[in-house]
Amino acid sequence: MFYPNKIVLATANPHKTTEIRNIIKTYYAKDLDIDILPRPKDVGEIPETGDTFLANARIKASRIARATNLPALADDSGLLVDVLDGLPGVNSSCYAGEHASDRANLEKLLSEMEGMTDRKAGFVTQALLVFPNGDELSATGEIRGEILGFPVGQNGFGYDPVFKPDGYAMTFAEMKPDLKDSISHRKRAFIALFNRIVGLKDTSV
């Protein structure tokens, strides 16, 4: 495996792109001499047919690595609610149906959880870098919290308005982006992954 000078992002979600770029810029500005390129516009929708975060991250990153002949970085993430046995999980983006809006997914979650007292949940991110030859580096990140009974806050995306991380008195959607990006599942996964990528500098031949 070699230290790459370019990495292409596999996500088509603009919120995730902004968060990933912000995390990399904040924590790796000095160490990283890698160009982070956006997902090419001419790659169509990539069906996420896997039943794990890792399988779906691999589907997305491999497709973009093949299309660009560059190392590609995928993020597959979701919300796992304890009392729902880990749902919506890998189906977080389509919980209320294929191409469902963030709002529809969130409303379905709130209605499924109506009256439930156990509100514990966690966000998980699987970050995966796939090289054109199939080599991989991976890392995961998680943050625990609880699901409120109604949405609060305007920032972020997805389930952010109902997720209150443990130790904070506000939802992800009430936080300034820099605060969410300093504690999130995504930050934890991408810091772990980029530590490995930076480590390649010493081992590349």
**Under rule CB under 6 A, residue 164 binds ligand ITT:** no
Q: Which is nearer to ligand ITT, 27 or 157 (CB)?
A: 157
**Under rule CB under 6 A, residue 28 binds ligand ITT:** no
| CA-closest candidate to residue 163, choices 145, 142, 136, 177 | 145
H/E/C letters for each residue in 54-75? HHHHHHHHHHHHHHHCCCEEEE
**Under rule CB under 6 A, residue 105 binds ligand ITT:** yes
Residue type, 44: G
Q: Which of 71, 141, 145, 158 binds ligand ITT (CB under 6 A)?
A: 158
**Under rule CB under 6 A, residue 161 binds ligand ITT:** no
CA angle 76, 82, 86 (to 5 degrees): 35
| Centroid of chain to Cα 20 | 8
- What x-and-dash track marks residues 47-66 binding ligand ITT by CB under 6 A? -x-----------x------
Show the tokens assigned to 137. 């580096």
CB distance 171 to 146 below 8 Å: no
Nearest-approach distance from CB 95 to ligand ITT, in angstroms: 8
Nearest-approach distance from CB 163 to ligand ITT, in angstroms: 7
Strand partners for 146: 120, 164
Distance CA 20, CA 29 (A): 13
Task: Considering only the stretches 5-13, 21-29, 112-120, 144-152, report the one whose residues sit in contact with ligand ITT under the rule CB under 6 A.
Answer: 5-13
Nearest-approach distance from CB 203 to ligand ITT, in angstroms: 29
Nearest-approach distance from CB 61 to ligand ITT, in angstroms: 10
Note if 118 is an active site residue. no
Query: Is residue 101 classed as helix, strand or coil in its secondary structure?
Result: coil
Q: Which of 84, 157, 192, 198 binds ligand ITT (CB under 6 A)?
A: 157
Which of 31, 35, 76, 82 is an active site residue? 76
Dihedral over alpha carbons 50, 127, 77, 133 (to 10 degrees): -30
Distance CA 163, CA 160 (A): 5
Task: Considering only the stretches 107-115, 132-140, 152-160, 195-203, report the one whose residues sit in contact with ligand ITT under the rule CB under 6 A.
Answer: 152-160
Q: Note the residues at the interface with ligand ITT (CB under 6 A).
A: 11-13, 16, 48, 60, 75-79, 92-93, 102, 105, 123, 156-160, 172, 184, 186
| Residues identified as active-site | 76
